[in-house]
Amino acid sequence: MNRGDQHTAVLVLQGLDCGLTSPPSAWLPTDQQTHQKPVSRKRLSELNLARIPETTLYRSLADLFTAAGMEADKASVVAEVLIEADKIGHTTHGTGLAASYIDALKSGEMLGAGNVKVVADRGACITWDGNKLPGPWLVREALDLACERVKMHGVVTVAIGRSHHTGALGAYMKRITDKNLIAQISCSTASAARMAPFGGTTPVLTPNPMAIAFPTATDPIVIDVSASITTTTMTRQLADANKRYPEKWGLTAKGEPTDDPQEVVSRGGTLMPLGGSDKGYKGFGLALGVDILSQGLSGVGRADKQSPMTLSVFIQVIDPAAFAGPEEFIRQSTHTAELCRDNPPAPGVKGVRVPGDSAANLRRRAEADGVVVDDAVIAELSKRASALNVNWL
């Protein structure tokens, strides 16, 4: 197995999601980790995975969300966004989220019908109350509006308060960069606290993902990171499996570095910020910035008590045509990306990759051979489909 294949396997098996915030039921209980074998799927049996045709998976997910109470337009977008996350390797924020979304619809935590409330609109600056509607639909709608208006304004910013879970931020980017536009998205969970400020011991912030994407002459550059070293989802998955972090990615309740995820999940510990125990002020600063930007501009934040899974989102779209022009931008972005890719690799490294390269390669593979989904996810959604009288796959 070469280095690229190893990286792909890690993405599939561990669901590396760049620290994106997850709803509390985005993982499956141990008693649901059954592995069935639907006959319509190409199998990767040694990994308990399958490749499913994208159109088949989309139809099944959209039907499932509609049956669970989501309006058809919202169900369609949510299915598309989750599948795109699977295609680019963010498997913890792909089809694996569907069961938790269905649960959220049933409990009323997420609303499947309705529209946004416009809090403010100055043309290039828009603020919405998301009314706890599906995050993927809200983000897609905001991006579409921004792309429509950016031709006039050059830069358009949308702040959304009271969004439900947004999914993987990187999953929104290709539609924007395909238009030769720049997009940046960041979000925070105003209703949760999982990361302590640097030097502290009590959680205040969340991993607060941030993503920015740039068009180039080839694959887009997509930078998609979070302010903590690892994620809430990954931490819970490792704890459920009685495994440890590869390194000390958590902090105990006393603020001591630990490689035991149970310290974070069960004993009052917190997620380690980017930069680790010595330089964690960097991750803390990033998390603080995203918190204040998304919550301050939307008006929905930690200063007020929030219902579970209340997110605040900051979205900005930039048109290079309002500056030096798209041709000049792409000339510069492509040149710099190639300088990085052509950089002599360090020992043991096959080649330098630019952020977004792996996602683009995984997407092409998924479009050619099918979308990778874990058998346990398929089995769980099959149960949900049966309960909702929906044909599944």
**Angle at the Cα of 94 (from 90 to 95), degrees rounded to 5?**
145
Say if CB 32 and CB 48 are below 8 A apart: no
Helix axes 54-67, 98-107, angle to 10 degrees: 10
Kindly list the domain boundaries of the chain, sorted by start residue. 3-228+273-387
Of 119, 115, 166, 114, which is closest to residue 139 (Cα–Cα)?
A: 166
Q: Look up residue 212 and give its DSSP letter.
A: E
Instruction: Report how far apart, in Å, the C-alpha atoms of 18 and of each of 36, 103, 144 are.
Output: 29, 24, 24
Q: CATH number of 3-228+273-387: 3.30.230.10, 3.30.1370.60, 1.10.1740.110, 3.40.50.720?
A: 3.30.1370.60
Q: Can you tell me the mean pLDDT for 348-366?
A: 97
List b or e across 111-138, with b for residues whose CB sees 16 or more CB atoms inside 10 angstroms: bbeeebeeeeeeeeebbbbbbbbbbbbb
Average pLDDT over residues 116-135: 98
Question: In the block, which residue shows the tokens 């269905």?
Answer: 102
Strand, coil or helix: 255: coil
Amino acid of residue 271 = L
**Under 8 Å between Cβ of 119 and 128:** yes
Model confidence at 20, pLDDT cuts 50, 70, 90, reads very low
pLDDT digit string (tens) for 239-296? 989 999 999 999 999 999 999 999 999 999 999 999 999 999 999 999 999 999 999 9
279: tokens are: 């330089």
Q: How many helices (H) and strands (E) does the chain have?
A: 13, 13
Given pLDDT bands bounded at 50, 70 and 90, which one contains residue 5?
very low
Task: Tell me what the mean pLDDT of segment 73-96 comes to.
Answer: 96
The reported pTM is 0.88
Say how far apart CA 12 and CA 374 lie, in whole Å. Answer: 8
Considering only residues 14 and 320, tell me which one the structure prediction assigns the higher pLDDT: 320
Instruction: Kindly state the tokens that stand for 320.
Output: 């290079």
pLDDT in the model for residue 8? 33
Contact 19, 225 (CB under 8 A): yes
DSSP state of 3: H
**pLDDT tens digits for range 305-331:** 999 999 999 999 999 999 999 999 999
Tell me, what's the pLDDT at 40?
Answer: 43
Express each pLDDT in 25-80 by its tens digit.
333 322 233 333 333 445 554 467 889 999 999 999 999 999 999 999 999 999 99
Please provide the average confidence, as pLDDT, over all residues in the chain.
89
pLDDT of residue 47: 60
The tens digit of pLDDT for each residue in 157-190 reads: 999 999 999 999 999 999 999 999 999 999 999 9
Instruction: Give the model's confidence band at 224: pLDDT under 50 very low, under 70 low, under 90 confident, else very high.
Output: very high
pLDDT at 92: 86
Give the per-residue pLDDT at 319.
98
Tell me the DSSP string of 279-319. HTHHHHHHHHHHHHHHHHHHT-STTS---SS-EEEEEEEE-
The answer to whether 317 and 143 have CB atoms below 8 angstroms apart is yes
Euclidean distance between CA atoms 345 and 323, whole angstroms: 34
Q: At 109, is the secondary structure helix, strand, or coil?
A: coil
Element containing residue 57 per DSSP (H, E): helix 54-67
